[in-house]
Structure 1
Amino acid sequence: MTAIETPVLSRARSQVLDAGIGLGEAELVEVLRLPDDQLEPLLTLAHEVRMRWCGPEVEVEGIISLKTGGCPEDCHFCSQSGQFSSPVRSAWLDVPSLVEAAKQTAKTGATEFCIVAAVRGPDQRLMSQVAEGVKAIRAEVDIQIACSLGMLDQAQVDQLVAIGVHRYNHNLETARSYFDRVVTTHTWQERVQTLRLVAAAGLEVCCGGIIGMGESLEQRAEFAVQLADLRPDEVPMNFLNPRPGTPFAGLPVLAGRDALRTIAAFRLAMPRTILRFAGGRELTLGDLGARQGMLGGINAVIVGNYLTTLGRPAQSDIELLAELKMPIKALSTTL
């Protein structure tokens, strides 16, 4: 502990680092309002919390879009919505391409491969293709398979369990109080219902969102606490990359220091959760920010490209982890 540590960081050291209990909403607002000269102590504490309650290992994941574009929902950040004039067009990926993508992901050292589809929820065609793809991948690649297919019913959850899917991603995107500013074609509660079905079925829950969509600091704190209440296994941390043709195309890119404060705040809200670097980090943080994030609470990364935007080269992330002496989580520990 340093002499200049602020009261909220002192409380966090006692409550989160020592006892493993996440901060509440009011304290997280204090964290998000810390001045720039407190950013380094904040990141240092968040890293200490990560190391104590999660350890040094980093989980590496690749993602692939099975069905791109043409989504009927109006998520205002998303270039895959069929309601906006964005340049993304509808397309399907075949099973051999899925298998090849999984192979390339595994070569990076990744232990997780996520199949994503731009849909409100899967129809029978999509569920059949996912089942075929998972079977083919499992026959050729030693990797865990996750899915992100929108909102599910009980029968679809049961089918994913039966074919061996290990984790399901369904982001809440933002705080409940801000959700209708981001999406109007479905509700926050509908998303929560899918997450509850997934958790009850024994699948790992992956649930995060996007920071920098015009929400207030209070709503970022609200969002962190709402995520913590769901007890997700993993929280992907995306930062808005404003996409042409979407309602959020004109929003400013989040400042790097605000992104780092948010990462640390989420770590102090969820000391035991996997926090994963996801979309937008390259634009918001750059190479230096990637290093600071890994030393400020992050303990998982998506390598390579995202669904409709470019990411960092996979090798760059692998080399950074080696430099920081953060081992890639072994597949055997995730089985």
Structure 2
Amino acid sequence: MTAVETDILAVAREQVLERGEALRYEQILAVLNTPDEQLEELLALAHEVRMKYNGPDVEVEGIVSLKTGGCPEDCHFCSQSGQFTSPVRSVWLNIPELVKAAKQTRETGASEFCIVAAVRGPDERLMSQMREGVKAIHAEVDIQVAASLGMLTQEQVDDLRDMGVHRYNHNLEAGRSYFPQVVTTHTWEERWETCQMIKDSGMELCCGGLVGMGETVEQRAELAAQLGELEPHEVPLNFLNPRPGTPFGDLPVMEANDALRTIAAFRLALPRTILRYAGGRELTLGDLGTKNGLLGGINAVIVGNYLTTLGRDPKDDLALLDDLKMPIKALNATL
């Protein structure tokens, strides 16, 4: 066992908590390899880092799919791909339905509403619907609007910014070395390029990934380190929920302790970033694990359902935040 493995929690306490310096790849890997008997100490350290650099507030977000299913890409975890036998078929929402969903999201106390489309990238029909939808939401709902529409051109980046999109989500999904095992219809580099354009535009970048897809611990550490290099405003952390009909449909669900170690490792790799609970947490962690993650580095949640899977009842998440004395971040604090 190396010195970095032996002393990693002491190193992380001094480096991250006291000096505010993120962990590097080798250190992230050491955190991911900590034994179960150190998990409670690790989560407590990650929580201290979260509280010091982000405070107790939790950012709450809701998401809705503007265009569901029929995606031409082959992301192996996703039941929206038109290449698999997954039971999701192409559906479009209209503008009144979008506005209704935004209102329902705001009623939970959420400050962010993300419009998602299952596409490689937006065509003119989708961009036109986004212009109309964002305008209608801003006219009727006091909420920030985010978007996730796949890979973008520079013109589309500028258009989304100008129409009032506050934040754009485009996940790396996996570390660069494992990405070809996850997606074959586009490259990791194409995703990275869209992320850089978003950052350069002045929009906030939301960029995270999905763990538990058969990647090694080393590749999980690689993803965290590459996100640290990218420095997104927000990192959504998803856990694989194996979907029938997809290439990853038979993979086992990630062990809860491994998921909690991953949460802590990502917090120590990204001390000042919004780290958001996203898809798969209910299946992977259950109620107790969800609480432990909020006490182990998480400081944002998606409430309600995800794109193709059910989430917890929003009332349960909001009650848990109240029990933990974690206030919902006010809308004016996100501007």
TM-score bracket for the superposition, by shorter chain length: over 0.9
Q: Secondary structure at the match of 1:17?
A: helix
> 4+ residue stretches of structure 1 with deviation over 2 A?
none
Question: Given the two structures, how large is their TM-score scaled by the length of structure 2?
Answer: 0.98
Within 5 Å, give how 1:169-208 maps onto structure 2.
169-208=169-208
Q: For residues 268-319 of structure 1, what are the alpha-carbon distances to aligned partners after superposition, in whole Å with 9 as ceiling and x for unaligned?
A: 0000000000000000000001100000000000000000000001111111
Within 5 Å, give how 1:1-335 maps onto structure 2.
7-335=7-335
Instruction: Tell me the percent identity.
Output: 71
Distance, in Å, in 2 between the alignment partners of 1:21 and 1:174 is 23
Distance, in Å, in 2 between the alignment partners of 1:193 and 1:8 is 33
Q: For residues 56-113 of structure 1, what are the alpha-carbon distances to aligned partners after superposition, in whole Å with 9 as ceiling and x for unaligned?
A: 1100000000000000000000000000000000000000000000000000000000
The aligned amino acid for 1:25 is Y
The aligned amino acid for 1:110 is A
Distance, in Å, in 1 between the alignment partners of 2:159 and 2:26 is 41
Distance, in Å, in 2 between the alignment partners of 1:96 and 1:320 is 32
Distance, in Å, in 2 between the alignment partners of 1:179 and 1:229 is 17
The aligned amino acid for 2:134 is V
The aligned amino acid for 1:249 is G
Distance, in Å, in 1 between the alignment partners of 2:29 and 2:333 is 35
Q: Which runs of 5+ in 1 are unaligned?
A: none
Q: Secondary structure at the match of 2:178?
A: helix
The aligned amino acid for 2:260 is L
Structure 1 residue 28: Cα displacement? 1.1
The aligned amino acid for 2:113 is F
Q: Secondary structure at the match of 1:177?
A: coil
Q: Which runs of 5+ in 2 are unaligned?
A: none
Structure 1 residue 123: Cα displacement? 0.0
Alignment RMSD: 0.8
Q: For residues 236-294 of structure 1, what are the alpha-carbon distances to aligned partners after superposition, in whole Å with 9 as ceiling and x for unaligned?
A: 00000000000000100000000000000000000000000000000000000110000
Structure 1 residue 6: Cα displacement? 5.3
The aligned amino acid for 2:102 is A
Distance, in Å, in 1 between the alignment partners of 2:26 and 2:209 is 20
Instruction: Name the count of aligned residue pairs.
Output: 331
Distance, in Å, in 2 between the alignment partners of 1:315 and 1:159 is 36
The aligned amino acid for 2:82 is G
Structure 1 residue 333: Cα displacement? 1.1
The aligned amino acid for 2:226 is Q
Distance, in Å, in 2 between the alignment partners of 1:220 and 1:22 is 16
Distance, in Å, in 2 between the alignment partners of 1:247 and 1:6 is 38
Distance, in Å, in 1 between the alignment partners of 2:81 and 2:111 is 30
Distance, in Å, in 1 between the alignment partners of 2:157 and 2:12 is 37
